[in-house]
Amino acid sequence: MEFLVASAIGILTAGGIYLVLRLRTFPVILGISLLTYAVNVFLFTSGRLTIAGAPILRDGVTHYADPLPQALVLTAIVISFGMTAVVVMIGLGAFLGSNDDHVDDQPETETADAEGRS
């Protein structure tokens, strides 16, 4: 089970980094979301991967689940949802303002020369 979760974290991280390095706004937002999901799964697994584990220590319980990473992941989900909404609105405003969703902002002279209009 640990190998499966570690592979999922690696795939989410690799996909997130690939999308963050794209030149369009929407793939960058998806990449940031994938990276936050990878961090959330990593934090969740730091509290042990046990099935039906008790969240509190009691006498006779040998396998327990740490509730702190679960609380951190819950908080991170709420924060990442809010930040994703803010970034989407910023990206939408930038797209509506310039009719282009490129991440790198090129000066007008370079785009005019690249399109053949000098």
Average pLDDT for 75-79: 93
Burial class (CB in 10 A: 0-12, 13-18, 19+), 8: middle
Task: For residue range 7-19, list pLDDT tens digits in order.
Answer: 999 999 999 999 9
pLDDT of residue 113: 56
Q: State percent of the chain over pLDDT 70.
A: 82
Residue recorded with tokens 């000066």: 107
Highest mean pLDDT of the ranges 50-59, 74-83, 86-95, 100-109:
74-83
**Domains, in order of start, for the chain:** 2-114 (1.10.287)
Burial class (CB in 10 A: 0-12, 13-18, 19+), 97: exposed
Average pLDDT for 46-65: 72
